[in-house]
């Protein structure tokens, strides 16, 4: 098994819908994103995939979120409608990156994991089945 990982950082605010239905205060993070792609076999040039292609795909998604309020960006927004949108948790953000990145991967590669961190000691991961 082979794998490659790319990492990025972006700034964004969010407010989580809490268990009691309330919305926590809006606050910001410098979010980290680590995307790992794996393959059983290397491709014709002996790579899992081109690092630059994976970085470019991730950068395109980060442009949507960077310096914005996640509660106002689909599928996390608009704020105040928790039953129709995803709660902008680190777990949901990790899932969103995975959902958006997977279709663009080369045929020999598959997404292994997306890790999203809100702070150095607070990281969530999404692993597709």
Q: What is the pLDDT of residues 29-42, one digit of tens each?
A: 999 999 999 999 99
In angstroms, the CA 14 to CA 116 distance is: 14
Average pLDDT over residues 50-68: 97
The DSSP result for 70-129, as a single string, is GGGSTTT-STT-TTTS----HHHHHHHHHHHHGGGS-TT-EEEEEEEEEETTEEEEE---
In angstroms, the CA 55 to CA 35 distance is: 9
pLDDT given at position 85:
77
Cα three-residue angle 8-14-20, rounded to 5 degrees: 135
Average pLDDT over residues 82-102: 91
pLDDT-derived band at 83, boundaries 50, 70, 90:
low
Determine the topology of domain 2-126 in CATH: Tetrahydropterin Synthase; Chain A (3.30.479)
Q: In what order do the strands lie in the sheet with 2-14?
A: 68-69, 2-14, 27-39, 110-119, 122-126
Write out the two tokens for 112: 């292994």
Average pLDDT over residues 85-113: 96
Least confident segment among 13-17, 21-25, 63-67, 79-83 = 79-83
pLDDT-derived band at 55, boundaries 50, 70, 90:
very high
Is residue 12 pLDDT above 80, yes or no? yes
In angstroms, the CA 8 to CA 59 distance is: 8
Q: What percent of the chain has pLDDT over 90?
A: 90
In angstroms, the CA 21 to CA 12 distance is: 22
pLDDT given at position 77:
86
Domain boundaries of the chain, sorted by first residue = 2-126
């Amino acid at each position: 098994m082979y794998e490659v990982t790319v990492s990025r950082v972006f700034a964004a605010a969010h407010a989580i819908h809490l268990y009691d239905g309330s919305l926590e205060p809006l606050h910001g993070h410098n979010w980290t994103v680590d995307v790992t792609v794996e393959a059983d076999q290397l491709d014709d040039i002996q790579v899992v995939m081109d690092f630059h292609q994976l970085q470019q795909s991730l950068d395109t998604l980060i442009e949507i979120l960077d310096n914005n309020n996640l509660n106002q960006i689909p599928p996390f927004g608009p704020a105040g409608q928790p039953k129709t949108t995803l709660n902008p948790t680190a777990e949901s953000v990790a899932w969103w990156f995975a959902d958006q990145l997977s279709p663009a991967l080369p045929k020999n590669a598959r997404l292994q994991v997306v890790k999203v961190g809100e702070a150095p000691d607070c990281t969530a991961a999404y692993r597709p089945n």
